[in-house]
Each structure stands twice: as C-alpha cells, then as structure tokens.
Amino acid sequence: MSNVIIVGAQWGDEGKGKVVDIYTEYADAVIRYQGGNNAGHTVIVKNEQFVLHLIPSGILHDGKTCIIGNGVVIDPKVLLEEIDALKERGYMKDDTRFVISDRAHLIMPYHKKIDIARELIRGEAKIGTTGRGIGPCYEDKCTRSGIRIAEFVDKELFAEKLKANIDMKNRYLTEFLGGSPCNFDEIYSEYSAYADRIRGYVANSSLLIEEFMDEGKSILFEGAQGSMLDVDHGTYPFVTSSNTVAGGSCSGTGIGPTKMDEVIGITKAYTTRVGSGPFPTELDCDMGESLRKNGGEFGATTGRPRRCGWFDTVLVKDAARTNGLTGIALTKLDVLTGIDKIKICTSYKLDGKTLKAVPANLRQLERVELVYEELDGWKEDITHIREFGDLPENAQRYVERIEELVGVEIVMVSVGQKRDENIVIKNPFA
C-alpha cells in the first residue's frame, strides 16, 4: 500500500494528467482534491486525446475508483457534460466507481457573472482568471454562504439557500458591478435537473478513502494547477483561489498528513505560464515562440497561448520546500531536442545579494537579476527511448543538472506525448 500525492511544481500545465494516468496503473483509487474546471488535464490514449477538467485522469483505467474531494468546487453542468462525453467514448461503464464528496462546493451562474464583471472592471490590472466562477465560489465557501453538494441534492434546502444567495448577489451584480441580475426560477429549474442526475454519485468521500486505506489499497491524490499558483505560496495575487500545494490534499479530502507516503512534483523541462503575472525566465523572442510551437503550449481549458521560458531552479526549489517533494517527474524533455544551447536559471540576485527563494514582493521579483548556466543541447530523437542510460549524453547531463540544482530525485522523464513515451526511473508505488 502507498499513498502518493501528485502536484504541479511550476505554474500549472506541467503534464500532471499524463503522469496521473501512468501512475493510476498502480493505484486502486484516484482523488482530485482542489480547484475546479479552470484546470485541464490532457491525456493521449491510443492516439486519442482526452481533456479532463473535473474528473480525475484515472477514469481512463478500468477498475479504478475516482473521487472528487471536498476541496474541489464543482460546476454541475460541466461535470455532467464531461460524464456524458466519457460515456459516449466507452468509459465510465460502472457508476459505482465514481464518487463526489457531499462537502464539495457548487459553482453557480452568479459566480461566473461576478468573475467576468470584476475582470472587466480591473482593466489592465486584471488577474487573468478563466471566468469560470472559481474564485467567487471559494469566496462564498470562506464567508459561509456557499452551497455544498449535500445541500444541492436536497431540493428544499437548495431552494432556500439559492434564494438567499441570489437576493444578495443580485444587489452586488447590479448596483456595484453594473451587470444583469440572476433569475431564481430559471436557475432553480435548471440546476434541480442537474442535482437529480448527480445525486447517485454523492457520498462521504473522506470515510470512503479511510475504508480503502484500512483495506490496504493504494491511493493517488491528484492536484490541479501548480505550486506557484497556490493562494498562499504562489505569486499572489496572480494565483488561483485554492491551496495547490501538497498540504491541500489533506484538507481537500479529509485525510490526515500521517497517511501520506510520497509527494511527486511534476515539472516541465522548461517553464510555462498562462495568463497574467510575473515570469522571470520568460523568453519574449523567437526561442520562446519555438518552445510554444514545438511543445503545443496552448491552454487545455482556455486555448490561450502559454508564455514560455527557460527552466527556473529557484521556482522549483520553492515548490520542493512547500510540498515536501520526494521525487520529480520531468515532462516534455523531447521539446528541447534540436536546441544548440539550453539555459537553466540557477539563482536570483537582488541589489547584489543572492536570494534563497522567490520574493513575496512582486516589485522585487520584477527587479531580480537572473543567473544562468548554459548546457549543450542534443539533436537526436528521444521519443523512442525507455531507459535513462540510452538518452543522448547531453540530455542525460541536463536532467542530472536539474536534479543537482533542485536537490530532489528525478523519478520519471517524459520523452513524448503518448502514454508509453516515458522513462520510469523509480516507481513511488513500489
């Protein structure tokens, strides 16, 4: 039995979907513990692409139980569309193997309206949200006015809470944000139909996970976004609205930290970021455009082009500390093939002093001087390689140098998009 947490070690989009899909082979259950449908995990199975926004990537394996934990915020319309799409493609044949926490919070139409309206008001100072209502939903959770799944599937209680919320939100939408109000009858009718379809999946997921552990089953805890988007430890305020670091797996599932065995951080062989916010190693040049083109760097959720840059050791060392990483899965090494000289950012300097971490003050972060180390690249195709020692010598040295600088063992290297295009050095479930 092993309980393994998967986290993003950069700004998200590191390839967690693929890594979770690979590790699911060794797990009995996969649990998503935070975020909402602002995340998008892309998996390619038998040349067929799947983009999952709420349901754990493990759903693509037969016989695995997939759970949406209490830390996730759920748009029921999106969830049902995802379920229907998977069923149409021959997946999710056994409904008993999919569970939704009764304590997860519900994203409502007013959350999305507020999200979009506030971004418009911010103008050039916008955060760069996806407009899917994630932040406003988490706000309601913290102000104790949110609607949880347990209440959603109780028709009378749902009507009571929805009415109170709409009365309050409409005043905010119309009088402050200058938007249009929400209609109670329309929303209640539409969402009650969603509740009827979701009701059979709802359970106390914390209790279920504990039962699995007592039976000696292995659990994979799947995070969304990345460590530098954590609401506490990321580049605030250009972050998401939940705790994306490994600690979020405990609060987001109702399972204590003493039950966890391994924490695997996923990081690309370079760095990307979607949306606004600081990005020290960003390449606003032909090299950045080449990484974007060769890596297919467009958001799985929004389609927005990702900003690209060199690997940032300072960033990933922060993630290693805040997550307690026991291993790193390095993805998209193949994208660097053909580059003559590859750079790694080894440290930041500010006013002549070397910084030990990413500064919380974003104005300071904008002023840091980057210290780079340059390594020779390789030209050989590596997508067919399955043993680390068979990689070109320069590719091996690049991976080893990242491991040395970050101080965390690299346990997997992804050398292509497909499910089997990987070098597995160490299995955290073994």
Q: Which residues are catalytic?
A: 13, 41
DSSP collapsed to 3 states, the chain: CCEEEEEECCCCCCCHHHHHHHHHHHCCEEEECCECCCCCEEEEECCEEEEECCCCHHHHCCCCEEEECCCEEECHHHHHHHHHHHHHCCCCCCHHHEEEECCCEECCHHHHHHHHHHHHHHHHHCCCCCCCCHHHHHHHHHCCCCCEHHHHCCHHHHHHHHHHHHHHHHHHHHHHCCCCCCCHHHHHHHHHHHHHHHHHHEECHHHHHHHHHHCCCCEEEECCCCHHHCCCCCCCCCCCCCCCCCCHHHHCCCCCHHHCCEEEEEEECCEEECCCCCCCCECCCHHHHHHHHHHCCECCCCCCECEEECEEHHHHHHHHHHHCCCEEEEECHHHHCCCCEEEEEEEEEECCEEECCCCCCHHHHHHCEEEEEEEECCCCCCCCCCCHHHCCHHHHHHHHHHHHHHCCCEEEEECCCCCCCEEECCCCCC
Contact in structure between 428 and 264 (CB atoms under 8 Å):
yes
Contact in structure between 304 and 275 (CB atoms under 8 Å):
yes
- Neighbour-count burial of 384, counting CB atoms closer than 10 A to its CB (0-12 exposed, 13-18 middle, 19+ buried): exposed
Q: How many CB atoms lie within 10 A of CB 395?
A: 26
- Neighbour-count burial of 323, counting CB atoms closer than 10 A to its CB (0-12 exposed, 13-18 middle, 19+ buried): buried
Handedness of CA 157, 162, 167, 169 (dihedral sign): positive
Q: How does strand 353-355 pair with strand 341-350?
A: antiparallel
